[in-house]
Amino acid sequence: MIYSFLDTTTVFSHPAYGQYIASGAGIGTATISMATDRSVQDVAADGNIMTSKVEGENGSMALAIQQTSGLHKWLLGLYNYLRSAPASEWNQLTVTLDAAVMGDQNQLNNCSLQKRADRVYQAQGQLLTWTILAESVSEA
């Protein structure tokens, strides 16, 4: 099997702000994480174990992107727009990451930006990390 990050396409869509399509350019890494532990164990005083199945599809995507990239500029613009937009628009971002070569497609729904990416200034350009929180993460 061949892997190429450049064959990965990520689409960011917000109904009021618009859409941005990133094809790997300017992105260092994209990490999708689930937030809810689906299995939890409780240990009683006598050592008896109770395992609970917990529902929850929420998660996050961490994007390490070049500070000069078009994606960083778009996310910064979205963040600034949402700061003054009605609260009902805050979690209306949808993100789809399609890694065609791997046969993976990840859908993140009802997303919001955790915070503005930290500002980094050095002699060399840096990767900035944007964290996107999702109410649901699914794989196709």
The CATH number covering residue 29 comes to 2.30.110
Would you say residue 49 lies in a domain? no
Return the sign of the alpha-carbon dihedral for residues 132, 87, 36, 38. negative
pLDDT of residue 1: 61
Would you say residue 45 lies in a domain? no
Would you say residue 48 lies in a domain? no
Assign 100 a pLDDT band (cuts: 50, 70, 90): confident
pLDDT of residue 74: 97
Q: What is the pTM of this model?
A: 0.89
Is 3's pLDDT higher than 90? no
Assign 2 a pLDDT band (cuts: 50, 70, 90): low
Would you say residue 95 lies in a domain? yes
Q: What is the mean pLDDT of residues 26-46?
A: 92
Which of 63, 138, 57, 65 lies closest to 105 in space, CA to CA? 138
Give the domain extent around 107: 5-35+57-139
* Number of domains composing the chain: 1
Give the Cα separation of 9 and 133 in Å (integer).
19
Would you say residue 100 lies in a domain? yes
Would you say residue 46 lies in a domain? no
Percent of the chain whose predicted confidence (pLDDT) is above 70: 98
